Structure 1
Amino acid sequence: MSHLLSLFYFHFPLAACYVYIYFFLVELNKYLRSSHSVSFWQVPPFLVRKVFTQIFSFINVQLFNSLLLRRECCSFSNGEYVKAGLAELEHWCYKATDEYAGPAWDELKHIRQAIGFLVLSIQQLYRISTMYWDDKYGTHSVAPDVISNMRVLMTEDSNNAVSNSFLLDDDSSIPFSVDDISKSNEQIDISDIEPPPLIRENSGFSFLLPRPD
């Protein structure tokens, strides 16, 4: 699944990749909620939420790390594309409802707040500030004295080994317990299920047929 999203991101124009991702999410949500998605077993809503949370986490990591590693992604135009794409993903979460989207939108907090610099470390702030360039209007980027002050703060904070890295880690796990599955399963009354003709017509399966009162 992550490989498929990588293909979308790296092989389509940036403005178009969000369209493909959006329709991918729509179709995947439709498939997981269908009673035919896994034989005749419907995927529990909690597991659907886990899947989409992980997908959005992957999108967050890929987009945010691209900002820090690829200078062409730090342009004004790219910022506009990312903002428009995030609006599409937010719209998808709204239509999918909390029952199926869950906290997926929160997984995009780094890329959502990259412009506002609300959740970023000093290393990440410095990296984006030094990488940013206005390819559209040619305006000046972050003032040199601000860059200098951030460099001083980075030096003071260099003793913290955790903060020295400006990249996010891609955690591909989807943790859930057996207890989560048992709680999500609906109680099914077997007597309400109509056996298929092959079973009804075979006397060897008569014990499965409802007994008349």
Structure 2
Amino acid sequence: DHFGQVDIVINNAGILRDKSFHKMSDDDWDLVYQVHLQGAFKVSRAAFPYMRDQAYGRFVMTTSAAGIYGNFGQANYSAAKLALHGLSQTIAIEGRSKNINSNTIGPVAASRMMGTVMTDDAMELLKPECVSPLVAWLSHETCNATGELFEVGAGWMSQLRWQRSQGAYFDPKGFSIDDVANAWDIVKDFSDPIYPSSIGLTFKAIQGNPHLNDDI
């Protein structure tokens, strides 16, 4: 009511409770989940109906390299951060018809939280000003990117995407661990990769199984 409308939501709240997995408590897990993922969910859900009504909106979720790749001592943080990308992709799908875009960034940038684990020299190189132009672009009305993931930091920027091997097919009526072992090199062969972008392409791959009939 105070500002008139909501056009952009940037989910950037964060907290660290780093511990190796076998030492992590429920409280360590829950607090990180609540701040990173639950917080983003509640803010985004509150804004989404207004964006639908005005047929316009932009979301930017903040993940991290730890969320994308995993990192020692950060099981809670990594899980919550990767979950944000799943949330973003679904918002992108559900918002597409209403001109609502949602993307995820994985920044490497100096912050009070990062200052606990990085040197002063590294912090100077990783200025937030090297991240904010990407956030501004993804929030801009002329940017049509949606459901995408980007890494950014220290003057470098890159898009990430899923890559899948062609895979191997087995008879769904029955196959064994030996069959899997014998086809393992084929399962892991990325010489001719596919770049899937939706759940529909997963079902398309399954439908290509020569052992199947037309029921799927």
TM over 0.5: no
| Bigger proportion of residues as strand | 2
| Bigger proportion of residues as helix | 1
Larger radius of gyration: 1
TM-score bucket of the superposed structures, by smaller chain:
under 0.3
TM-score by length of 1: 0.27
